[in-house]
Every structure is written in C-alpha cells, then in structure tokens.
Amino acid sequence: MKQAITMIEARSPLVRFVAGAMIASCTVTMAAAAPAGDAVTAYVVQPRDTLYDLARRYMLSLAGIAEVRKVNRITNPRQLKPGSTLAIPTALLRSEPLLAKVEAVSGAVSVQDQTGTTPRPLVIGTSLKEGAIVRTAGNAFLTLRFADGSRISLPSNTVVRIDAARHIALGNADDRRFGVEAGRSAFEVTPATRTSDRFEVRTPMAVAAVRGTEFRVGYRPDSGTSTLEVLDGRVAESGTTSAESAAVDAGMAALRTDAGTSRRLLPLQPAPDLDDPGKTQSEVATLFRIAAPLPANSYHFQLARDAGFVDSFAETTATDGTGQFADVPNGTFFVRATAIDANGIEGRPVVYSFDRQRSSLDASVSPPPSKGPKQFAFKWDGSGEGRFVYRFVLARDAALADTIVDQAGLTGNAITVTDLAPGTYYWQVSFVQSVGSKTFRRSLKVNELRIAAPH
C-alpha cells in the first residue's frame, strides 16, 4: 500500500511562504513558520504498523520512539490506529546528504560550518552539504547546483546558510532549507515530483517554500526589511499578527518591515531598455546606459559569461542610469539590467549579449616643414589585439562628402598630403580590427584642420 507522507511544521511568530500539496507546482502559499529544527514529517499509519517497526525502518535509533510517543501522545507504541497521522520530528529520521555543487564562482567566496571553523575559499566542483555557511565579498559571485537542476545564485555581499540538504528515507523525500542572513539570493527551483519534497528559503522575517518556480529573496539587517520578488508563479501571503492575506502573482513583490508585521505588495519595475546595447565595447571602461532612466530609480547592472547568469563576474549599481565596469577582458559576454525602486525592490531583467574588444586609436597632424614642399603628415596609432586595417578620409566639409583623399586598406599608420591650399578641411581615421573570425569597426571623431593664407 502506498504511504502518505507530507512535511508539516509547528507555528511560530514569523511569516512564511509554503507550498500546499494540492497547489500547482509554480505556486507558493504563506503561513506561520517554525525554526528549522522544529520540522516534522507527517506519516499516515498503515495496517500492522508499530512504532518499533517504523523506528527500525526509518529512524536513526530506537531511542527516537520516546520522542515520537511524546509528540503524538501515544499510549501503546505497538498499537497504532491505521489511517491516523503521526508527526515524526525530521531530525529523528534516517537521511542521506544532498550535495550542492559549486557550478561557478568569481571573486572572494568562502565557506565555513556552523561550529565556526576557519573560512576556506570555494572553487568550482566543490560540494557543499548541510551546515555550510557561504559568504560572498564585494564583487564576488557564486552559483550552486543540485542534482535535480535546481540552482542558487548569490551576488556580492551575501551570507547564506544551508540549514538542511538531505534525502529522507521515510516518504522518499528531499528536504532542502536555506537561511539568508544578509544580502540577496536568486533561486531557480526544478518542479518537485513528490508532495513530500520541501525547498525553503528563510530570512529572519519570512520563509519561502516552493515546489518549482523562480524568485528572489533579500534581507537587509541595516534597514530591517525582507523582500520576496516573484518572477514566475503565484504567492498567497498571510501574516502572523492578522488574518489579512493577499495573492502575490508573478511580476509582484512583497515587502516586509517592522519585524514582519507590516506588509506592502508592490509591482516589479518593468525591464529597462539599454541604449545601443549591441555596440562593441572598445573603450578603456565598459559602459552601459539606460535609454530612459527614471529619477526615482537606481539600476543594477550585472555581467556574466553565459546568458543564464550562472557564471557572473561583475556587478554595479548606479543612480544615473550608467553602469561602468573596469578591467573587463576581451570576449563575448552578457549584461543584465534591472530597475530598483525606492523601496529596494528589484524589477524584471533585460539581458543582452555584447562583444568586448578593447582597442584605441590616436591621431594627429603635423605641420609642414619650414622649407620644401608644404606636406601635411597625418598620423595615427591603433592598439589592441589582432590585425588593423585603416581608412583615411580628408574632405572640404564636415560630412566628409566633398572628399579630397579617401584611402582605404592602409596597414601603415601615416599618410602625407602635399600642397593643401589655405582653407578649412575635415579629416577622419577609422579602422577594421580582425581578431580570429570576428571583425570590429571603429572611427575617430571628425577633426578640423585650418590652413591660413600666407602673409
């Protein structure tokens, strides 16, 4: 006969999001939460079950029988009523560790256990287990991946605990619980296939438990705010001090303040648009600009080596709509931008790919010598990877339509023009840079040259 198993929890004065057994896989519900150690597993008694049989099959030792009897007020451990439900403390049950593997890491990221061991740096391929505390420093990033494909992404200045990561024999259930002590974290949870599976994320003011969705959780100890930003799915939220409840759909956020007693539902800011996001980033600094920044917003820019932002490596926040990054190497990368409202709620993202190919081009013109033909030497110097081919244009107008010289295919870095009559001229140098199979084009601004008439 099939066993009926589910996870339940005791109540405490917190706020919680929890997925009910009959709710769709992308839906989250809110109720009261308990400390991580208070988790229990509900088991529906089958015919001929005894506490001794259950202990031998599923519990760590027979000593746990006394606790189960106390919790369920059982008089005779050998006589259980079929169909009744037992609440068995999860800590008493046999389990196997579920490991979170480091899929990507950038910057200073460290881990220690809850006993206060010396923090050690993390590298790709490291497996973390229950009890680990992970910290990311400034401009540091970490992505963890479980065997079912669920991912946890930690940006800069974040502290997250792995409170539980285990597979419980009773009910064949996965139990994964995380605590966000500071900072922000993003979750992509693979839809659960068993009603007994649990995936929870806690802050000191709220708990999010899901069965498969995409969302972000943040906690700021300095301001005492907890945020839930739903990118996919639906959240039914209720507080612990009142009966008030509301649904939080995808595209909405719940903001908790005043120790969780005050709640506001706010729409996520729409995805911003970037100004010319596909241009090759060739300058010393890598710059991205919001096309129409709003004065009430700040903007979060993040760079990654992949479109899914598993392997992030840089981020910045700007109030003027311009994200600037230093020391970005050459290559093809991805930029993600989101708007952040006055409450600290981060909106929907926009993602673009871009090429980074740093190059520079300096140009000058030298006056003719005092004696001999009146020769003007135009010079330029291009630097960067690959092969450079230049084009030089000299014209009588700023639009470079009335050309005097238009020379393409130059591989040198100078050209001499002789006997220019007095007047005003305009000139420009451009280049094609070839790096492997890719080509990049860039032009200097149009320069003005005035030649005075002799006295």
Q: Which residue has the tokens 């991805």?
A: 334
Whether 280 maps to a domain, the answer reads no
Whether 62 has a pLDDT exceeding 50, the answer reads: yes
Q: How far apart are CA 163 and CA 34, in angstroms?
A: 13
224-233, 295-304, 311-320, 384-393: range with highest mean pLDDT: 311-320
Considering the domain architecture, whether residues 161 and 40 belong to the same structural domain is answered as no
Considering the domain architecture, whether residues 346 and 390 belong to the same structural domain is answered as no
Q: Which two tokens stand for residue 279?
A: 């241009």
What pTM does this model have?
0.73
Strand, coil or helix: what is 248? strand
How many residues are listed for the chain in this entry? Answer: 455
List residues bridging with 144 in a β-sheet.
102, 152
Considering the domain architecture, whether residues 76 and 111 belong to the same structural domain is answered as no
Range of the domain at 417: 359-451
Average pLDDT over every residue of 392-407: 95
Considering the domain architecture, whether residues 290 and 430 belong to the same structural domain is answered as no
Q: How far apart are CA 138 and CA 106, in angstroms?
A: 11
Considering the domain architecture, whether residues 342 and 416 belong to the same structural domain is answered as no
Considering the domain architecture, whether residues 109 and 200 belong to the same structural domain is answered as yes
Cβ neighbours for 352, distance < 8 A, ≥ 6 positions apart: 274, 277, 278, 334, 335
pLDDT score, position 171:
81
Question: How many domains is the chain built from?
Answer: 4
Percentage of the chain beyond pLDDT 70 is: 86
Cα-flanking dihedrals φ and ψ of residue 212, to 5°?
A: 140, 100
Q: In what order do the strands lie in the sheet with 331-340?
A: 312-318, 298-304, 331-340, 350-356
* CATH number reported for the structural domain that contains residue 65 in this entry: 3.10.350.10
Q: How far apart are CA 85 and CA 98, in angstroms?
A: 27
Q: How far apart are CA 420 and CA 375, in angstroms?
A: 8
The answer to which of 41-45, 63-67, 231-235, 375-379 has the lowest mean pLDDT is 231-235
Last residue in a domain, options 36, 58, 92: 92
Last residue in a domain, options 267, 299, 321: 267
pLDDT score, position 236:
57
Contact 101, 126 (CB under 8 A): yes
DSSP-assigned letter for residue 99:
P
pLDDT score, position 385:
80
Give the CA count within 13 Å in the CB-facing half-sphere of 126.
Answer: 17
Q: How far apart are CA 389 and CA 408, in angstroms?
A: 8
Considering the domain architecture, whether residues 331 and 429 belong to the same structural domain is answered as no
Whether 278 maps to a domain, the answer reads no
* CATH number reported for the structural domain that contains residue 212 in this entry: 2.60.120.1440
pLDDT score, position 25:
31
pLDDT score, position 129:
93
Considering the domain architecture, whether residues 348 and 373 belong to the same structural domain is answered as no
pLDDT score, position 203:
85
Question: Which tens digits make up the pLDDT trace of 7-18?
Answer: 333 333 333 333
Cα-flanking dihedrals φ and ψ of residue 54, to 5°?
A: -65, -40
**How many other C-beta atoms can be found within 10 angstroms of the C-beta atom of residue 74?**
17
Cβ neighbours for 243, distance < 8 A, ≥ 6 positions apart: none
Whether 362 has a pLDDT exceeding 90, the answer reads: no
pLDDT band at 264 (very low <50, low <70, confident <90, very high): confident
**How many other C-beta atoms can be found within 10 angstroms of the C-beta atom of residue 383?**
10
pLDDT score, position 147:
94
Whether 274 maps to a domain, the answer reads no
Considering the domain architecture, whether residues 100 and 244 belong to the same structural domain is answered as yes
The mean pLDDT value of the chain amounts to 84
Whether 56 maps to a domain, the answer reads yes
Whether 107 has a pLDDT exceeding 70, the answer reads: yes
* CATH number reported for the structural domain that contains residue 379 in this entry: 2.60.40.10
- Cα 190–Cα 30–Cα 18 angle in degrees, nearest 5: 35
Q: Which two tokens stand for residue 399?
A: 């639009």
Q: Which two tokens stand for residue 295?
A: 């004065």
Q: Of 151 and 420, which is predicted with more confidence?
A: 151
Q: In angstroms, what CA-CA distances link 47 with 1, 15, 51, 83, 238?
A: 9, 37, 12, 8, 38
pLDDT score, position 235:
66
Whether 229 has a pLDDT exceeding 70, the answer reads: yes
Last residue in a domain, options 267, 296, 314: 267
Q: How far apart are CA 347 and CA 167, in angstroms?
A: 34
Contact 7, 42 (CB under 8 A): yes
Whether 252 maps to a domain, the answer reads yes
pLDDT score, position 392:
94
pLDDT score, position 453:
78
Whether 23 has a pLDDT exceeding 50, the answer reads: no
Considering the domain architecture, whether residues 220 and 326 belong to the same structural domain is answered as no
Helices and strands in the chain: count of H runs, count of E runs: 2, 37
The answer to which of 90-99, 145-154, 309-318, 377-386 has the lowest mean pLDDT is 377-386
Whether 209 has a pLDDT exceeding 90, the answer reads: no
**How many other C-beta atoms can be found within 10 angstroms of the C-beta atom of residue 21?**
10
Strand, coil or helix: what is 146? coil
pLDDT band at 371 (very low <50, low <70, confident <90, very high): low
Considering the domain architecture, whether residues 103 and 214 belong to the same structural domain is answered as yes
Whether 220 maps to a domain, the answer reads yes
Whether 123 maps to a domain, the answer reads yes
Q: Of 110 and 13, which is predicted with more confidence?
A: 110
pLDDT score, position 34:
34
pLDDT band at 193 (very low <50, low <70, confident <90, very high): confident
Considering the domain architecture, whether residues 334 and 432 belong to the same structural domain is answered as no
Q: Which two tokens stand for residue 82?
A: 């079929």
Cβ neighbours for 343, distance < 8 A, ≥ 6 positions apart: 225, 255, 264, 266
Q: Which two tokens stand for residue 334?
A: 């991805």
pLDDT band at 116 (very low <50, low <70, confident <90, very high): confident
Question: Which tens digits make up the pLDDT trace of 140-191?
Answer: 999 999 999 999 999 999 999 999 999 998 888 899 999 999 999 999 988 8
